[in-house]
Structure 1
């Protein structure tokens, strides 16, 4: 892992305001699907996009993006509304037209202070607007944008979005459309579609045996982690040459084609369990966000920006994850992906049974692949961002050391991909050693052959 010497940020808020659609918009109350209401998406996701200064530098990127925001909200008018709770506890969206919270800030540093974002310092939190942790969900805006201008002429666009309204691909398309408006487009190239009614539960309950088994599975003996362990945001970078060697070897073991995602996911699952010394008697669950837009019959329409993903759950004993060949873990992941057909998905929606224990047990692991969500294609007139990164800051002792994200590396860096995670420093160092040991084993075996 590359070490970086990062300075503290000095961020000053210039202005904050609500940006409504620039044209009058409808004011209905809109249905949110069971996929939108699943427990694991009741959270705000934060990410920032980094743009270097160039010859075509925007004179005022904040003003350009603010004006573009008012235009794109004409098509995304629900995003200018507010979430509301129903009597049954489910959420719906009231189209109030109030607007998206927009913040302009200046930073008394150059972009070099951020490094490659392999490590995140507490002062980086200033790049975002944060609601207090006890804010009612009705008062949390579906989206907040903060444009941070640096002394070098570069800027950072920090976006906070409520996962109930968007999934990753949905917000990626929103940001790409926002960029198009900033570049002078009259309308989005892919018009957004709300239509959450497509995923309403059917009248005839279709029950999948596997779902029922998961529902009644006992978790009374789950191992609980320390609850006040301080986690930090760190990263590893995998180069494609290394992955190629491992893929060749594991493909031979599996006698099947394996994807880069499956290989690295299996590698990370094993390394994490060993680094955290999770007891071998435990059952380990590996949740991974899977785009299922095309798995429905018919597929969800192009432009749909609601939650069109599901947390697939691969499961094995810790003993098997640690002792079986890596190809064994890859096959578990492959079979889990293959099970996500239309019947399974409709059963999940009809029964309204979604995993609620993802973050409650440290034997569990969550992985989300951000490489294909479109963040790297967001162009406000200066080209694509040189770097993107999620941002979480640990508050009140909350431990999210079971979450991992795959990202593209910064522009001009190694040809591979980057993995972000949150762990206590000592455990991250153990995790890094375990990853290196597994990789070296496969590369050494490849060279010996």
Structure 2
């Protein structure tokens, strides 16, 4: 059993880990090769997403060991989601496929000598101690020829536990992850099969023959960076939006302007981040909004489809226009770009991937947001009730740190809202916090902001 120490602010604790083991499906599963879709295997999704679910002690589960319950349920779930137990291989033209070998996923059992209450503020992203809660076994951060899921269950001294997951993003998106986790939780609670049967059908999002790009994809434009890029001196903070904060933003736009909560939050972050980075007024800036394509197809993609089925069309304007125009300008740009997402748009992305070598999205002066809050991953119940937190563990995707994920959360007062981590250079982060609080504390109601933040040095 390995042992290591971690600290969060003044809190220090030790995590003892057992040797990693492979958990295969509970019974033999088909051995076959299943190609990923041309949306799945684009360059920007060839990463491992760190996810985390945190549970309190439950008196009714006092006799149950969360490690055993979750490991056994995982083995049963892999019978239905057997591609997760396989390994990715790369074929000609960088085409990824799953070799369904049945080898299993990586699983780690661990114990931490700390209680739920002692962890305090570190129970929200960016989780300064996350490297202890999900140990990356050497070579498992590769994309091919390695387990597609890395799981660590850490028991806490108080009876609670933390489930941390490294997810190979090429296998599924937010809705797909929610579906898989819900099935896993159902099995833990005694089900014999998932209530929603998984559907592979990745051929539905393959490129056409011949491929043809029919939409304008500004998220994949090649842009020259005028400034040297660096990930030095970067910090992450997590901010919380409550109902009063949303109301404060709504007061900044005309009453007749149609928008969603997502539009408001995204526009707010885009403006604050652009100001914080002090981007030159004539430079283009991009906000790429992840939009689920499942309901945009006619007929819709089948219920149970768990592959990646989204695009991230880019709203583009200059930094000067974004920051000097009324707030409603940014909100309208976000609202409009979401409407670009159609069946043809997603098909055009698949075609573009084949024609342009599965290229990476534009990273220069770009920002990406994903609205995971609508899936409320806290509701994944393994028998210990709703999670205290369920969602991503930090900002960024792979080496690109300009991604924020909106997750549902409660603040210290028990107020429901949305929390998101963001990563910026330290000086820019201070400017972001000032801009952010300035937007929420408008003159109509100067004391209503419930925005809070947590900081972690990377």
Q: Same fold (TM over 0.5)?
A: yes
Q: Distance in 2 between matches of 1:144 and 1:317?
A: 41
The 5-angstrom pairing of residues 313-332 of structure 1 reads 313-332=314-333
Q: Distance in 2 between matches of 1:375 and 1:387?
A: 8
Inter-CA distance 77–422: structure 2 relative to 1 (3 Å threshold): same
Inter-CA distance 56–251: structure 2 relative to 1 (3 Å threshold): farther
Q: Distance in 1 between matches of 2:371 and 2:13?
A: 28
1:311 aligned residue? 312
2:249 aligned residue? 246
Give CA deviations for 1:382-401 in whole Å, capped at 9, x if unaligned: 11101134234999xx9644
Q: Distance in 2 between matches of 1:355 and 1:373?
A: 28
The 5-angstrom pairing of residues 378-417 of structure 1 reads 378-392=380-394, 400-410=400-410, 413-417=414-418
Report the secondary structure of 1:139's partner residue: coil
Report the secondary structure of 2:18's partner residue: strand
Q: Distance in 1 between matches of 2:48 and 2:264?
A: 29
C-alpha deviation, 1:119, in angstroms: 5.9
CA contact (8 A) 1:72 1:178 kept: yes
The 5-angstrom pairing of residues 188-203 of structure 1 reads 188-203=194-209
**Are 2:120 and 1:115 equivalent residues in the alignment?**
yes
**Are 2:16 and 1:17 equivalent residues in the alignment?**
no
C-alpha deviation, 1:115, in angstroms: 1.8
C-alpha deviation, 1:443, in angstroms: 3.9
Q: Distance in 2 between matches of 1:104 and 1:407?
A: 26
Q: Distance in 2 between matches of 1:226 and 1:342?
A: 35
C-alpha deviation, 1:185, in angstroms: 0.5
Q: Distance in 1 between matches of 2:429 and 2:253?
A: 25
- CA RMSD in angstroms, aligned pairs only: 2.6
CA contact (8 A) 1:82 1:96 kept: yes
The 5-angstrom pairing of residues 287-436 of structure 1 reads 287-352=288-353, 356-358=360-362, 360-361=363-364, 363-392=365-394, 400-410=400-410, 413-436=414-437
CA contact (8 A) 1:8 1:121 kept: no
Structure 2 gaps of 5+ residues are 1-7, 449-458
1:224 aligned residue? 227
Segment drifting more, 113-122 vs 72-81: 113-122
In the superposition, the TM-score normalised over structure 1's length comes to 0.90
Inter-CA distance 151–444: structure 2 relative to 1 (3 Å threshold): closer
CA contact (8 A) 2:149 2:167 kept: yes
In the superposition, the TM-score normalised over structure 2's length comes to 0.88
Inter-CA distance 48–55: structure 2 relative to 1 (3 Å threshold): same
Inter-CA distance 119–26: structure 2 relative to 1 (3 Å threshold): closer
**Are 2:102 and 1:100 equivalent residues in the alignment?**
no
Q: How many residues align?
A: 435
Q: Distance in 2 between matches of 1:287 and 1:89?
A: 25
- Find 1:208's aligned residue among 185, 189, 214: 214
CA contact (8 A) 2:378 2:391 kept: no
CA contact (8 A) 1:230 1:394 kept: no
C-alpha deviation, 1:176, in angstroms: 1.0
Q: Distance in 2 between matches of 1:262 and 1:130?
A: 35
Q: Distance in 1 between matches of 2:219 and 2:427?
A: 34
Give CA deviations for 1:355-374 in whole Å, capped at 9, x if unaligned: 7244x32x211111111234
C-alpha deviation, 1:319, in angstroms: 0.9
CA contact (8 A) 1:9 1:124 kept: no
Inter-CA distance 99–442: structure 2 relative to 1 (3 Å threshold): farther
CA contact (8 A) 1:120 1:232 kept: no
